[in-house]
Amino acid sequence: MFLTVMACAALAAALWSGAGEGRVGWDETLVVPAPLVGVLGPVADGSSLGGLLGEIDAAVAAFERRRGARGAGAVVVLVVVDSPGGMLAATPGLSDVMAGPLRERGEVVSHVAEALSAAALAAMTAERLTFEPDGVLGAAVTVEVDPLTGAGRELSPREERVALRVGEIVAERGGHSRQVMLALQAPTGLSIGLAGNGRDGGGEMILANDASLERVVARPGELLTLNAETARELGLSVGSVGIDALLVGEDGARAAAQRRELARALGVEAVRVDLRAWRAGIAEAERRERALEAASEAVRRLAAAMRSVRGGEMEAAGPARRALADLRAIAAENGRLAAYFDLSDERLAGYEAEIERLAGEGDGAGAGASGAGEEERR
């Protein structure tokens, strides 16, 4: 969603980064959006957030200069999550950056547009979350799918334990219930009840996979999926607010309304938004998306050519070799893509050997048929 928005940002009248603005109000909190967008692994990883530290520091320094002698103000690093997920292996690095260097610079809040699969885990590193009005977080069950072939397989018990352990660590860092995290990762179901004085007495909220409790959020056998309302019920979300006008640098009535809503959600008097980290991050994400698409196209070409070669269409051997050469070049240049598509030397050599074997068999069969035809003519 936000990648599409930012692709048109060059047409915006102005993108405010704070330069040339007047003195910061005493009650203002600096909000620095940082994108966590695209597929985890090839597009979003620890380096995609860690690479924005310079821009975040510049935003904070400019904010403090404008505050003058009154000292440093509050800072919120708003990690905008718009990702379908990707590699579980990318989640620890993202979580490390969010819980480490970003948290050293201010409060880290995850703003959820779409946070699915591994992206849901990364988003839960933050202690507080805000949601787009149609934002969704969930589908955090880990599955093994080969991007090169599309084939899936069940995780081994050890792999399942590793995935659940990643969720536990993220929940601890964000201060969230392990019961909630487990319900996001496995179809345990989740219900909300009140202990003690009951509904009117303000008793303590309890969470369990017990469908007899007052509020069933996810039935046993279903994965927990959160929107702004269910996240608020579980104490995860501090508000629902659209920020699209802020992210493209609008400065009219709609942007002013979104600043007020964002301030209300964060529990502060007013916010000042600095876009320099956002713009740098989106530019890098778009570059990585283009590289991912080029690799995906080479994978599609190889898959189509291999189907044809295996079906006896030997004229497809040439396209298969060219696609294989492209993937070798991509793997040599981009380690993230090599890991995502599992473009190991051994695997690519296996495809090459299969192509040559099938092509050789096809040539032999053709020669045999030609010889038989010649003998018959004699």
Give the start-to-end residue ranges of the domains of the chain.
2-283, 285-363
pLDDT average, residue stretch 274-279: 98
Helix, strand or coil, per DSSP, at residue 358: helix
> β-strand 75-83 against 28-37: which pairing, if any?
parallel
> What is the distance between the alpha carbons of residues 85 and 308, in angstroms, rounded to a whole number?
31
Provide the 10 A C-beta neighbour count for residue 242.
18
Q: What is the pLDDT of residue 126?
A: 97
Does 305 score more than 90 pLDDT? yes
At 18, is the secondary structure helix, strand, or coil?
coil
244 CB contacts (<8 Å, ≥6 apart)?
2, 5, 258
Range name among 256-260, 340-344, 363-367 with the lowest pLDDT average: 363-367
pTM, whole model, 2 decimals?
0.85
Q: Compute how many other C-beta atoms are within 10 angstroms of the C-beta atom of residue 273.
A: 24
The reported pLDDT for the residue numbered 337 is 94
Side-chain-side CA neighbours of 208 within 13 Å: the count stands at 10
Contact 271, 56 (CB under 8 A): no
Confidence class of residue 204 from pLDDT cuts 50, 70 and 90? low
Looking at residue 119, its pLDDT comes to: 97
> What pLDDT shows up at residue 70?
59
In 216-312, where does DSSP find H-type helix?
Answer: 228-233, 244-247, 253-266, 276-310
Q: Answer whether 112's CB lies under 8 Å from 137's CB.
A: yes
The pair of structure tokens assigned to 137 is 């977080």
* pLDDT bucket at 109, cuts 50 / 70 / 90: very high
Task: Looking at the structure, give the CATH architecture of the domain made up of residues 2-283.
Answer: Alpha-Beta Complex (3.90)
Please, are residues 263 and 271 in contact by the beta-carbon 8 Å criterion?
A: yes
Please report where in the chains the tokens 């009005």 appear, as a residue.
133
What would the pLDDT profile of 219-263 be if each residue is shown by its tens digit?
A: 888 999 999 999 998 989 999 999 999 999 999 999 999 999 999
Predicted confidence band of residue 363 (pLDDT cuts 50, 70, 90): low
As given in the structure block, the two tokens for residue 279 are 């713009």
SS3 136: strand
